[in-house]
Amino acid sequence: MNQEERLRKRSGNQCELCGSGTALSVYEVPPATGNMDDAVLICQKCRAQVEKKEMPDSGHWQCLGSSMWSEVPAVQVMAWRMLNRHRHESWAAEQLDMLYLDEEKLTWARASGDHESDGTVELHRDCFGAILQNGDNVVLTKSLDVKGSTVNARVGTVIRNIRLVPDNKEQIEGRIEGQQIVVLTKYLRKQGGE
């Protein structure tokens, strides 16, 4: 039995955080060691918010009031982390007051830094504020000279299948005339205006 099958059996084929039964996948709770107890089965919505690829939805996380009592250490750690992201709300603060983690689990939970941050999510956005994602197509809103090249990217040039620069929400990577370049998001518009 592989890891996903074991997690599906352990969770009853439901998200171990919110209880959803759709679009489930394995999430290894960082810093993971590859042990089954270091992973949880979560739905797509939980994963997007855990990985800060979507704006936080505190209504969705009210489910932690029951999942935080799980006997699975990884579920307890994830509940602690997500409650800390919402600790400014009274419901989350109350849950955190009740949640007890032993020293080992608390050290693991704190490794994410969620208890020190304000829980905000910084997403890549185009010049009009539309959220950009890996694989999107974008259009240049300003002509740009590509440094170290003779390529001049003109207004209206489409950059297909972009890749987000992970550590900088103001940059994406893409290809123009066969050359891989980095472009500032303030000079881009998501194609289709989504």
Indicate the pairing of strand 179-184 with strand 171-176. Answer: antiparallel
Least confidently predicted of 38-42, 43-47, 58-62, 145-149: 145-149
The mean predicted confidence, pLDDT, of the chain is 88
Number of structural domains in the chain: 2
Same domain, 104 and 149: no
Q: What is the mean pLDDT of residues 40-62?
A: 90
Residues 106 and 146 in one domain: no
Is 83 found in the same domain as 47? yes
Domain that includes residue 179, residue range? 138-190
Residues 74 and 12 in one domain: yes
**What would the pLDDT profile of 126-161 be if each residue is shown by its tens digit?**
999 888 888 999 999 998 887 777 778 889 999 999
Percent over 70 (pLDDT), the chain: 94
* Residue 28 CB-density burial (10 A; 0-12 exposed, 13-18 middle, 19+ buried): middle
The tens digit of pLDDT for each residue in 77-90 reads: 999 999 998 988 99
